[in-house]
Amino acid sequence: MTSRGGGRVNCPCKYNFDDGKKVTPRRDVPNYPKYTLSQETIEALKKPTFDVWHWEHNEMLSCLEYMYHDLGLVKEFNMNPITLKRWLLAIQENYRNNPFHNFRHCFCVSQMMYGMIHLCNLQEKLTLTDMGILMTAAVCHDLDHPGYNNTYQINARTELAVRYNDISPLENHHCAVAFQILSLPECNIFANVDPEAFKQIRQAIITLILATDMARHGEILDSFKQKVDNFDFTNEEHVTCLKMVLIKCCDISNEVRPTEVAEPWVDCLLEEYFMQSDREKSEGLPVAPFMDRDKVTKPTAQIGFIKFVLIPMFETVMKLFPQIEEIMVQPLRDSRDHYEELKQIDDAMTEMRRSMSLSCLNHNYTATYSSYLA
């Protein structure tokens, strides 16, 4: 990227929409190893406790492939199984190697969506088309994420911010990349869907990916709160709102997972935040305190987010699906308590260091004064 002096910063992405080139997977299906998932893995995939750190990319691809078959999506959309494999390869290769927004995050979000579909018995309440929309939006939701958030894009006047008029530039880009991949015949998992049906599926996927912009969090959650007490699964507007909230839950669900799975993600996120804030400082752009390595700690980064974003949203979903309390909401409460304890320890250590510093200063002053009197 160039410096800011001469105008907007270029935030390069893998796609150049102006030159007509399309990116295809570097590996083709014959080189895509075939994994047979054990029954233990198949059962674990349905649960939020699934440990996403134990899997290589090819294994995650196999798990995603299994989810599409298991949910009946391959049959429902008459997908060519080889096309599904090629599509998943293209998806994986169009996630960048960012500390946080990478293919493992994509898998995390998709696996949590698959888990919520099972936990909430959504197969009994929503259509198979809805299932396909939820899973595909989850898989595609952060495609080609550059590792710098919307605030940076807008403040630095990047190419993406200019292209999308400062309106959810990243989420719009993720959508565009998703459908550029689907425009490749060899990667089009919806090739056998009626054109009018595909048009509706496309619009629904776009709606869900755009809903992951946290700038819209309050608006979307408030809308769901107004519907949840009298929720109607036959009301299209209600169902769309639910799907938006579900993808939001899955996108930021790491703290639902066991501590040993969740905590490394905090380190990854802070690493990405610090990369951005260092860059913002060097370019003279505003820096958010929660991204500043000189101001934020792991506990302070998490406590407010868990208390004021995660728990209220998941507790609202719990009104519709009470079964998520034990396996999803309680872990969030436990995580909040864990980080509050860590903050108390940090605060105590800071106070102790301050007291020791004052004591040393006082001792030095007394010794100097005594020496002077002598």
Taking a C-beta distance cutoff of 8 angstroms, is the pair 228, 86 a contact? no
363 is known to lie in a ligand binding site: no
145 is known to lie in a ligand binding site: no
Which contacts qualify for 28-32: CB closer than 8 Å, 24 or more apart? 28/86, 28/89, 29/82, 29/85, 29/86, 29/89, 32/58, 32/61, 32/85, 32/89
Q: Which residue type, as a one-letter code, is found at position 318? A: M
CB burial readout 250-261, b (16+ within 10 A) else e:
bbbbbbbbeeeb
302 is known to lie in a ligand binding site: yes
142 is known to lie in a ligand binding site: yes
CA dihedral of residues 302, 252, 273, 14 (deg, nearest 10): 170
278 is known to lie in a ligand binding site: no
94 is known to lie in a ligand binding site: no
Tokens standing for 363? 């001792």
Burial of 322 (0-12, 13-18, 19+ CB in 10 A): exposed
Q: Examine the residue annotation and report whether 101 is marked as an active-site residue of this protein.
A: yes
251 is known to lie in a ligand binding site: yes
Of 54, 101, 145, 238, the catalytic one is 101
Phi, psi of 285 (to 5 degrees): -100, 160
Alpha-carbon distance of 367 to 137, in angstroms, equals 69
Q: Which residue type, as a one-letter code, is found at position 337? A: D
- The binding site for AMP comprises 101-105, 142, 251, 302
**Residues annotated as catalytic (active site), given as ranges:** 101
- The binding site comprises 101-105, 141-142, 251, 302
- The binding site for Zn(2+) comprises 105, 141-142, 251
